[in-house]
Chains A and B, each alone.
Chain A
Amino acid sequence: GESVGLHLPTLSVQEGDNSIINCAYSNSASDYFIWYKQESGKGPQFIIDIRSNMDKRQGQRVTVLLNKTVKHLSLQIAATQPGDSAVYFCAENSGAGSYQLTFGKGTKLSVIP
């Protein structure tokens, strides 16, 4: 997995606006992807997942887009709320019988009231 490091990418969004968080993955064999939200002092919370045979999946206020051609994943949050402020991680399973998830660099989302 990639290092989160001390310099986490940050996205600041006005309350009510839509947020788009991006993730690049490296393994073209990855066949399953998950977005997690991590609030301060808590563990990663499952938001939405998508398999590689899909390019879009929608949940409640969230949409995940998968572009396998450029190995890119995005999470769209509609009508962003203060409670959405957190660090967001994408994770991939590299398939081929792999049992582990590889987590990408997180993005810190700050919602401005």
Chain B
Amino acid sequence: DSGVTQTPKHLITATGQRVTLRCSPRSGDLSVYWYQQSLDQGLQFLIQYYNGEERAKGNILERFSAQQFPDLHSELNLSSLELGDSALYFCASSVGPGASNQPQHFGDGTRLSIL
């Protein structure tokens, strides 16, 4: 158990809809990272928050947004969903602000299926 909690585990919805994925980092970790894992793209970094502030942005679509709350949990919002958004979405956390010397610990993901 990594200590990172993601809910829900599975989400099935339709095109055009909006969903919210939730992540609670490990106790003591201030950084939260979101990744998308699909069969044809592997693990892709989306966005990082550190102590409530956006820290880094990766391949995140404009239809997607995230935030980190004062209690350090984070939410990833996906809107105007398309079939191609079907994927596993992972949250990871680390103690500090950077990835240069700290491992990220991953949750078990949310499987999003768009019908």
A58 to chain B, nearest CB (A): 16
- Whether A99 and B44, one on each chain, are in contact in the complex, defined by CB atoms closer than 8 angstroms, is no
With A1-B42, A99-B56, A100-B48 already in contact, the answer to whether A34 and B107 are too (CB < 8 A) is no
For residue B62, CB closer than 8 A to chain A, the reply is: no
- Whether A99 and B55, one on each chain, are in contact in the complex, defined by CB atoms closer than 8 angstroms, is yes
- Whether B100 and A98, one on each chain, are in contact in the complex, defined by CB atoms closer than 8 angstroms, is yes
**CB nearest neighbor in A for B37:** A4
**CB nearest neighbor in B for A30:** B100
| Residues on B with beta carbons closer than 8 Å to the beta carbon of A36 | 106
- Whether A4 and B42, one on each chain, are in contact in the complex, defined by CB atoms closer than 8 angstroms, is yes
Which of B44, B55, B109 is in CB contact (< 8 Å) with A43? B109
Interface size of B by Cβ–Cβ distance < 8 Å?
31
- Whether B101 and A43, one on each chain, are in contact in the complex, defined by CB atoms closer than 8 angstroms, is no
| Residues on A with beta carbons closer than 8 Å to the beta carbon of B37 | 4
With A89-B43, A99-B48, A100-B58 already in contact, the answer to whether A43 and B97 are too (CB < 8 A) is no
| Residues on B with beta carbons closer than 8 Å to the beta carbon of A46 | 2, 103-106
- Whether B99 and A5, one on each chain, are in contact in the complex, defined by CB atoms closer than 8 angstroms, is no
With A41-B108, A43-B2, A45-B2 already in contact, the answer to whether A32 and B42 are too (CB < 8 A) is no
**CB nearest neighbor in A for B99:** A93
Q: Which of B87-115 contact A (CB under 8 A)?
A: 90, 92, 97-101, 103-109
| Residues on A with beta carbons closer than 8 Å to the beta carbon of B41 | 1, 3-4
Known: A4-B41, A45-B106. 5 other contacts (CB 8 A): A1-B44, A43-B2, A43-B106, A93-B98, A101-B33
- A residues sitting closer than 8 Å to B (CB atoms) are 1-6, 31-32, 34, 36, 41-46, 49, 51, 89, 93, 95, 97-103, 105-106
